Structure 1
């Protein structure tokens, strides 16, 4: 039962992350503003063609046929239809001229242009129907709202506002002024009202949900494209700088009897730069292999306290070089874990290396672990400068990464610090892949100036697939 509850909680958490609103970047806002203007131009042109087709069908075919019927008092006479479509054409043409004349719009003017399209296509016809004591039928005209959502699949709030104004005007005509729908018998009014209400509210809800999810996908795709551009720049920067430095050192080597002499300090710089290149290349290859083939685990029963102590001893020279300290605080009475030792070692190495390289010298790193339910909760904490990108801490007691911290584990993410080595972002991505392969979770808590705590959970029972 607790296992099923945990699965349900995990599913709900991931579902909320998938539908939670994303904060668009400034670049996306600028792109969206241009996109809406271009699509409004296209939508106005298509609507003008649609209205012209409507003129031909109604004035040329339907109106003459209705005048020959026994009920010549039908509302859709040629005069009414001409007034109807002329008003629409004037509204659409005016909107089109404004869009063509003004290349740049502020957000409020873009919204007004969007709403003016809805007004020209839907509100003007309804007002004309009200002038003759009728309520406009919704079936055909609501297609324009669908066209609007298909061609302009952004700003779901604007779509909701235009739909609310349209439905509100229909409701005023129908319930306040009691203007009946055109040519609907009295006995059918109530069933028609109920059916239309359910159908159109459902249609509008699905339309707005589709626009919301599609724009969320657009925002995510735009951010990934931006990350790819930053990644290409980062790779060229991180690989080019060591090569450039090495070439400068080699070109300036002192000459002695025709042979170049390499001082020890120059040789150390060359070795250090090539080691950085090798770390980056290996991280890129490892991330690609994990992405395409997944992580293959070779689990075995492991004493976490012994493993962490070994890792701390192995990394001591690296930490000591930066005047730091590693303090293993793993209790020796922890149950044995069924984990892949090499992969778990990589997680600890990446997190400790991050703490050393991304903080000022003298950082203190504490390694802790405790049993919590069916998991062992492990932490790697430091007293460094904290992570600027995290806007808030996860809720206390949660064992799922918050949305604010989820992006730090994305591949190639380096946060706001563009000078941060690229392999650090790759390392966090690899850590997430390894922990999730063990059916655990990973997250981070941080406060500026107070330090950072990376945490991850490992199941007590090795119920993951190798």
Structure 2
């Protein structure tokens, strides 16, 4: 026999009192034995504790934590358990995010660190054998490139910390959007793999934090290069929309599946298409969206499978 509160019923997804067997049947099949073992242990230890998944009537998966104390009769026979139930779904999601982040961050930092170590070892040997070798600058450049990647990863982490603490400060100045875009996209032009087209109002002046807006544009362009490797054309457009300035970056790659679009600006979310794992912490678009929001603007994306994607943002002109 089970007596429950309204909140207990609601945690299981029921709007009313239901028979005990329905509560038990709501448990995820893989956690059923775990729950039974916890109850068996409680009969001897006097304490009930377990965390398990439950399936709501609508198919939604939730997490619960059950805690209780066993009360005994005069002949030391268990009579009842008085306990509490807690919905820990959000806690489990945050825990999973933390675990995923640690895993991704460790992997992403390990790659440039390994490259730096290898470059330094080769340099050490080369200097001892042939100090005038023309390969020395090559290894130095390779090491610097890996250091820059590590710095970008660490900067992303620091930016997230500042956003979380509400300390992302903006230093606004007036500057030409076209000039800022041309300067921040030089790294793509220098590789020679992609053609950048700057269109629209190239005389439009922005009033914003130049470094932060530069960061947003670079993130858009880098994503266009990363997720549309088979398309070498990227179009960047500047336009005036009423009292707002709009900047958009368009690629002509495979496009983004509709089910992924609502999650693109979430922290640690990384698009995975056709089983290809891309590098990065999954923080770029999240940080970019926060930067634009702090400016009083908006960010969005339009995408069509087979035709490409357009990421855009708007910020106030004044």
**TM-score range, shorter-chain basis?**
0.5 to 0.7
Q: Which residue of 2 aligns with 1:422?
A: 280
Q: Which residue of 2 aligns with 1:157?
A: 56
1:324 Cα deviation from its structure 2 partner: 1.9
Q: Figure out how many residues of one structure are paired with residues of the other and give that number.
A: 261
Alignment CA distance shift 1:151-1:420 (3 Å): closer
Is 1:41 the equivalent of 2:54?
no
Partner-residue secondary structure (3-state), 1:223: helix
Larger relative strand fraction: 2
CA distance in 2, matches of 1:238, 1:422: 12
Q: Which residue of 2 aligns with 1:433?
A: 290
CA distance in 2, matches of 1:420, 1:252: 33
TM-score (norm 1): 0.46
RMSD of aligned Cα (Å): 4.0
Alignment CA distance shift 1:332-1:227 (3 Å): closer
Partner-residue secondary structure (3-state), 2:197: strand
Larger relative helix fraction: 1
Q: Which residue of 2 aligns with 1:295?
A: 168
Preserved contact between residue 325 and residue 363 of structure 1 (Cα < 8 Å): yes
CA distance in 2, matches of 1:46, 1:290: 43
Partner-residue secondary structure (3-state), 1:260: coil
Residue in structure 1 matching 2:149, options 279, 297, 306:
279
Alignment CA distance shift 1:362-1:269 (3 Å): farther
Is 1:392 the equivalent of 2:258?
yes
Is 1:404 the equivalent of 2:263?
yes
Partner-residue secondary structure (3-state), 1:355: helix
Within a 5 Å distance, the mapping from 1:133-282 to structure 2 comes to 154-157=53-56, 211=87, 214-248=88-122, 250-251=124-125, 255=129, 259-264=130-135, 266-282=136-152
Preserved contact between residue 381 and residue 454 of structure 1 (Cα < 8 Å): yes
* Structure 2: unaligned runs, 5 residues or longer: 1-27, 60-84
Is 1:364 the equivalent of 2:212?
no
Alignment CA distance shift 1:216-1:247 (3 Å): same
CA distance in 2, matches of 1:249, 1:445: 47
1:380 Cα deviation from its structure 2 partner: 1.0
CA distance in 2, matches of 1:155, 1:374: 50
Alignment CA distance shift 1:360-1:249 (3 Å): farther
Alignment CA distance shift 1:151-1:375 (3 Å): farther
Deviation string, structure 1 residues 101-131 (Cα, Å, up to 9, x no partner): xxxxxxxxxxxxxxxxxxxxxxxxxxxxxxx
Q: Which residue of 2 aligns with 1:123?
A: none
1:415 Cα deviation from its structure 2 partner: 4.2
Is 1:340 the equivalent of 2:239?
no
Alignment CA distance shift 1:276-1:263 (3 Å): same
1:286 Cα deviation from its structure 2 partner: 5.0
1:392 Cα deviation from its structure 2 partner: 0.9
TM-score (norm 2): 0.64
Partner-residue secondary structure (3-state), 2:35: helix
CA distance in 1, matches of 2:257, 2:227: 18
Q: Which residue of 2 aligns with 1:383?
A: 252
